Amino acid sequence: MSVFTLKLLSRLLGFALLLIVAVGGIAVAIFCLRGGDATLSLTNLASLLSLDELRDTVGPWLESLEADGPVAALAALCGLAAVVLGIGLLVGALVPRRERLLVIQRDEHGDITARRRAAASALAGLAERPREILGAKAKVRPNRRRAGGRARIKLVRAAGTDERPAAEESRRQLGELGKEMSLKLQSVTRKPRHGGRAL
Amino acid sequence: MTAVDHIRPASTRVAIARLAEEVVGRTVGVSATRGRGRWLTADGERTIDGVVVGQTAAGATDVDLHLIAEWPARPLPPLADQLRWELRADAASAGLGDHLGEIEVSVHDFKLPGEGGEEGS
């Protein structure tokens, strides 16, 4: 099982346990308001949850666990599985996930890599330099096995085109940066929600 | 980060880290990341930021350079090749050439013209 799966499992289980503890805590707190046999008393809560019947049901089973036999063997197996699951969850909770880097070039001398966030931030920074771009967000997805990857740039674009030399230069640099980082660039453009501005 | 200490004796690992620090320092277009407790090598009381050295089972010393690249000063692959070549040359002059293993270059941030970048800000 990969660390990613263990992390996901530990998060889901952690959330579920928190929810159970929270709901249980609220229930106990509410049923602590009164004492004796009143409606909001712990005695009433125990009878609502049928704890007496539960004890009668579980009691003999727990007694059979103490003796040798198939139930004890099954319980030992379940215990072992619980220990393995617990170790897995600990690994998921404590082992840091290795950051997936963008591999720009890989050869016998070693790798040239870049952090995804840094690469995305540089792409977005260049993309939003022309005046018609009101906002840019970039997301870099590195290839799993080989160098390079894909970059998706979401642009909020006003009507018109900034034709200043600086804007042209930024567009050229954006393409160059993508090429340099072995990235296939994909732009998604949308209009500003509230009309935006026109150049 | 303080000045490089050439007088104090150092292990091969630290000696190579010091050479890497010098190479990064004199190369135009890159600077070392701030170590942030992770990407650094301890050198006595100071730290060599942006340089991580580790020894392999075969006894070679691998170097990871964690850098901030100024863009578009130089294309990255030739820049990385230059860093590797200079570090290998310096290590050879210092008699450490046989100890040097792979040199990996990791870019943590791109400093665009007129910007500080995430790390630099």
> Cβ A177–B115 below 8 Å, yes or no?
no
Q: How far is B107 from chain A (nearest CA, A)?
A: 4
Choices 3.10.180, 3.40.1350, 3.40.50, 3.30.300: CATH for B12-112: 3.30.300
Q: What residues of A are in contact with residue B78 (Cβ under 8 Å)?
A: none
Q: What integer is the mean pLDDT of B87-109?
A: 90
**Tens of pLDDT, residues A5-14:** 888 888 888 8
Contact B11, B19 (CB under 8 A): no
Q: Which sign does the torsion angle of CA A16, A22, A25, A29 carry?
A: negative
Q: What is the predicted pLDDT for the residue at B72? A: 61
Give the model's confidence band at B2: pLDDT under 50 very low, under 70 low, under 90 confident, else very high.
very low
Please report how the helices A51-66 and A70-94 are oriented relative to each other, as an axis angle in degrees rounded to 10.
110
Rounded Cα–Cα distance for residues A145 and B59 (Å): 28
Percent of chain B residues past pLDDT 90, beyond the cut: 32
Q: What is the predicted pLDDT for the residue at A168? A: 84
Rounded Cα–Cα distance for residues A67 and B110 (Å): 67
Please report how the helices A3-31 and A70-94 are oriented relative to each other, as an axis angle in degrees rounded to 10.
110
Give the model's confidence band at B116: pLDDT under 50 very low, under 70 low, under 90 confident, else very high.
low
> Cβ A125–B115 below 8 Å, yes or no?
yes
Chain A interface test: which of B66, B100, B107 (most A C-beta within 10 Å):
B107
Q: What is the predicted pLDDT for the residue at B120? A: 42
Choices 3.40.190, 3.40.50, 3.30.70, 3.10.590: CATH for A102-190: 3.30.70
> Cβ B112–A126 below 8 Å, yes or no?
yes
Record the tokens describing residue B57, joined without a space: 């089972």
Percent of chain A residues past pLDDT 90, beyond the cut: 15
State whether residue A109 sits within 8 Å of chain B by CB.
Answer: yes
Closest Cβ–Cβ partner in A113, A125, A176 for B106? A113
**Tens of pLDDT, residues A95-153:** 777 778 899 888 887 888 988 988 898 888 888 888 888 889 999 999 988 888 999 99
Residue spans per domain, chain A? 3-94, 102-190
Contact A117, A150 (CB under 8 A): no
A91: left (phi over 0), alpha (psi -120 to 50) or beta: alpha
Contact A186, A150 (CB under 8 A): yes
Q: What is the predicted pLDDT for the residue at B89? A: 94
State whether residue A126 sits within 8 Å of chain B by CB.
Answer: yes
Q: What residues of B are in contact with residue A110 (Cβ under 8 Å)?
A: 84, 102-105
Nearest to A111 by CA among A120, A119, A101: A101
Q: What is the predicted pLDDT for the residue at B5? A: 52
Give the model's confidence band at B77: pLDDT under 50 very low, under 70 low, under 90 confident, else very high.
confident
Of B13 and B1, which is predicted with more confidence? B13
Task: Give the chain B residue whose CA is nearest to the CA of A110.
Answer: B104
Rounded Cα–Cα distance for residues B95 and B89 (Å): 10
Q: Could you give the angle at the alpha carbon of A192 between the alpha carbons of A149 and A159, nearest 5°?
A: 95
